[in-house]
Structure 1
């Protein structure tokens, strides 16, 4: 008895130690973000890496200019405008909806610059007047351009966005969300000229008809130089700053290191003076925290091979009763370094069953990979080989389907009713004839035969 108790205690102890020492996936702690809303997205896959109030309506300030630049880039792509076109700053452009204390490149009414130079003024030093000049060049008027901005936002799937002006100057009805701003930015980043200009730290605008040459320094401290106040980030590229008293400090940026690339959106951040006298602008500080956290703790991992057998799908109308399925492609996903492919939960959904014929490559299901309620990938499952149909089984199946049709069933019922009616009618008619025949017979045998003559 003592031996059995000792042995049981030994097994329990061994089991406890094995559970304690077994490797397991630990949850990666999120970075501390002070801003009211923030979003970090894997630029390669579009997967969200970090999110805070990403769908909350927020004032975007000058990050609005990303949408303005996008519409200009589209006009250039469509051939209605070019980077070298000369534009003149009109009176309406210089007076419509501008604030005296707003960001400016000191453009004057009647000044002539190229589209690229106006874009540089808008994206590097956030010049509000440049937005109006470009808006008129694209749509004919600022008002028409704003309509185009809202139409484009809807087209991109933005659900919490409404623009009132092309610059981002405050208006209660001018708002967006971190997610919507990401959608807009992702679209704009497809244009190389957009990224080239907004990733410019210092630009020189040559002398114009009304101004000497101007040197512009970016308002984005992540890509600046001596004026960056300690926020210079070597992996950062672009994109746009913004700030008003109502919006707080905002920043849309991107960062690339090796194979990793992220897009970040930070909205509603504060600028504070710390106890040691440091003036901290949290739009830059939070963005750096997000980039460091992601670049240091995430990597791409191969989680599915395209030739891996995932399961079997039953097949009818064939002598072969199943077909195996495999992923449509090799899947590589961005994962925290403490999570591995074998830690991911697989959710397989297969058609059950399918009818032959089945062709190699037919989509027969889906596979979803997730961890802790986060979906990392979803891929189609394809048939690995052909499955021919049996002619006899197919014929019998088609016969069954034919007689299952409502119209056929109704027709069959009608025919049966008609047939029954005909049979009944014939039966009744036959009885009548039988009775009539018997009556006539009796008349002939017992009826009047004429008067006998003597």
Structure 2
């Protein structure tokens, strides 16, 4: 009997111990995610919700991840009809010299050659070809220096904070054969924080989703069936069929220089979920940068995102705030109006943390006069937005800093009162003020 009792007691203690060990690990999974990189970020591409970040606001070298901005401006120029895919580019002395340096990522261009923009783009997107990228920049803006100006203007327009471009490729300016873009120095470098890199990737895929059609090509041949044919293997080795393949991976852009280290902006889709990852200056456990290190870091982020998070409806459409179901109305036939959340808020969260989020009302103060909305008020009039706060755990917010921009609206209309009713309200207000003043005066006597 004693032996049975001891065995049962030991089993119970072990069960309690194992449970205690497992719970903290689950609760602190994000804190224990050891990403070996100077900076990293994991984002839900649909909503911009940040699921993990490390040093994401520090500007660092971006190397060829720069080319995502070049791609954005290329698609924009095509869309606006300023250039076409079949338009020919005549090689300049600058692009010829750069293209002959195979130590850089390049497809060699003939000095007297002519290449279509489509050919150059495919070399850029698949093989990260630098001279081809410069050729696109010169075609769009005349000179790479002018193109760099457009890049920096677009960065401001897209809200890419702490971003500076000095060339179209991401190469070290020192590698540009003394022909770096005008207005930049030989030691200047392209820099961005991981948050801005992720934001650029997100807007590129949103505005021009066709970018993934080319970015997802694992292998291709430049100038096939000609004497200039060159095999191009995508530097994104996580694509299907390549050495570090990852389920759902279909983009987006690698980057490697001595200054930037081994960096990568990745994106993968499984089911209805698309994730964006950025790792900058990735290293292995020995502190050495490598292609494998950046893909290992990316895999860890992707596994964490797909494995730990699911899309959950945090706030339903029509939700009414417990402490603010109505707003006071002045000069109306009614003295209040009902308000509610216009659309549901759905975001990636851990299932265990769904109920930790609390919606808060952020009113548009510019619409209020002494705390009131003034009639007439239309149904579905926007009066504010929703802010989500969390009671536990870590919340990294959104790429744009907002909770998806979900609006709070009026759910009914309130007509403006006629002149007679307004007069009565004014008289009532007058006597109310007098009465309050008289009461205060009498109280003051005592």
Same fold (TM over 0.5): yes
Counterpart of 2:375? 356
Distance 1:127 1:272 in 2: 30
In the superposition, relative to structure 1, how do residues 80 and 233 fare at CA in structure 2: closer, same or farther (>3 Å)?
same
Given candidates 299, 313, 327, the residue that maps to 1:288 is: 299
Is 1:69 the counterpart of 2:77? The answer is no
Given candidates 195, 209, 212, the residue that maps to 2:212 is: 195
Alpha-carbon displacement from aligned partner over 1:222-263 (angstroms, at most 9, x marks no partner): 11525x2xx210211111111112211010110111111111
Counterpart of 1:345? 358
Counterpart of 1:173? 188
Q: What are the equivalent positions in structure 2 for 1:18-417 lying under 5 Å apart?
A: 26=27, 28-30=29-31, 31-95=33-97, 101-171=103-173, 172-174=187-189, 175-189=191-205, 190-207=207-224, 211-223=227-239, 225-226=241-242, 228=243, 231-270=244-283, 281-310=292-321, 311-318=325-332, 320-340=334-354, 342-349=355-362, 352-371=371-390, 372=392, 374=395, 375=397, 376=403, 379-391=406-418, 392-395=420-423
Query: By how many angstroms is 1:292 displaced?
Result: 0.6
Query: By how many angstroms is 1:200 displaced?
Result: 0.9
Question: TM-score, normalising length from structure 1?
Answer: 0.74
Q: Is the 8 A contact 2:320 2:340 kept in 1?
A: yes
Distance 1:132 1:319 in 2: 65
Query: By how many angstroms is 1:273 displaced?
Result: 6.9
In the superposition, relative to structure 1, how do residues 100 and 76 fare at CA in structure 2: closer, same or farther (>3 Å)?
same
Distance 1:137 1:280 in 2: 32
- State the secondary structure of the residue aligned to 1:50: strand
Structure 1, unaligned stretches of length 5 or more? Answer: 1-19, 402-454
Alpha-carbon displacement from aligned partner over 1:159-192 (angstroms, at most 9, x marks no partner): 2121121111124432222122223222322324
Q: Is the 8 A contact 2:240 2:249 kept in 1?
A: no
Distance 2:405 2:83 in 1: 40
Alpha-carbon displacement from aligned partner over 1:330-384 (angstroms, at most 9, x marks no partner): 22222112212x3312323456433333322223343322214735555322222
Q: Is the 8 A contact 2:99 2:107 kept in 1?
A: no
Query: By how many angstroms is 1:285 displaced?
Result: 0.7
Stretch of structure 1 that moved more, 84-93 or 214-223: 84-93
Distance 2:384 2:70 in 1: 42
Structure 2, unaligned stretches of length 5 or more? Answer: 1-19, 174-186, 398-402, 430-446
Specify the structure having the higher radius of gyration (Cα): 1
**Higher relative contact order, chain-length normalized (CA < 8 Å, sep 6+):** 2
**Number of equivalenced pairs:** 374
- State the secondary structure of the residue aligned to 1:314: strand
Q: Is the 8 A contact 2:100 2:106 kept in 1?
A: no
Distance 2:142 2:120 in 1: 16
- When the two chains are superposed, the root-mean-square deviation of aligned CA atoms in Å is 3.1
In the superposition, relative to structure 1, how do residues 364 and 180 fare at CA in structure 2: closer, same or farther (>3 Å)?
closer
Question: TM-score, normalising length from structure 2?
Answer: 0.75
Query: By how many angstroms is 1:77 displaced?
Result: 1.1
- State the secondary structure of the residue aligned to 1:80: coil
Alpha-carbon displacement from aligned partner over 1:34-57 (angstroms, at most 9, x marks no partner): 110111111111121111111211
In the superposition, relative to structure 1, how do residues 110 and 193 fare at CA in structure 2: closer, same or farther (>3 Å)?
farther
In the superposition, relative to structure 1, how do residues 110 and 280 fare at CA in structure 2: closer, same or farther (>3 Å)?
closer
Counterpart of 2:439? none
Query: By how many angstroms is 1:400 displaced?
Result: 11
Alpha-carbon displacement from aligned partner over 1:311-347 (angstroms, at most 9, x marks no partner): 122233346332221111122222112212x331232
Query: By how many angstroms is 1:271 displaced?
Result: 5.3
Q: Is the 8 A contact 2:126 2:215 kept in 1?
A: yes
Q: Is the 8 A contact 1:272 1:281 kept in 2?
A: no
In the superposition, relative to structure 1, how do residues 106 and 345 fare at CA in structure 2: closer, same or farther (>3 Å)?
same
Distance 1:271 1:29 in 2: 19
Q: Is the 8 A contact 2:277 2:298 kept in 1?
A: yes
- State the secondary structure of the residue aligned to 1:162: coil
- State the secondary structure of the residue aligned to 1:157: coil
Distance 1:77 1:343 in 2: 44
